[in-house]
Amino acid sequence: MIAALILGCSIVFFLQFFVPYCRSLIAASSSHVLSPEVQDVTGLTTPASGEDFDRVVQLLRLCPDRPEDRGEIRAIGVYFGMLNFLTAVSRSIAPSVRTWTERERGRCTYFAAVALDRRVAFSRDLLAQQIEA
């Protein structure tokens, strides 16, 4: 009984920490202005739509990997999956929650585009260093 209670509390607490953690990662990238190249490639509208998330992540996977952003991209991927679930559940029950999830999904897409921008810049720097060497 106590173990079940602790398990339940832990799951609730986990969500209470995980969601703000993902939102803090997203907030840190929201002030980043995308380069014109990434805007062209992704074709993102303002504000970004959650529908584009998978496409931007596919583009992200085409770029050389950066170990330091791997964890945060994975965390946002899990958060995006949770938002998809919430969107599906809240469709008919709570329209206000759905509006919020749509906005959050769009912010996830923007986060992925910022990560893509950083990876492109990183690859460009790497190439420049190789040419100089």
Which residues contribute to the site for other proteins (CB under 8 A)?
3-4, 6-7, 9-11, 13-21, 23-25, 27-28, 68, 71-72, 94, 96-97, 100
> Smallest distance, Å, CB 40 to other proteins?
26
| Residue whose CB is less far from other proteins, 31 or 129 | 31
Reported residue count of the chain is 133
> Smallest distance, Å, CB 12 to other proteins?
9
> Smallest distance, Å, CB 8 to other proteins?
8
* CA separation, residue 129 to residues 33, 105, 116, 118, 124 (Å): 25, 36, 20, 16, 9
Cβ atoms < 10 Å from Cβ of 12:
9
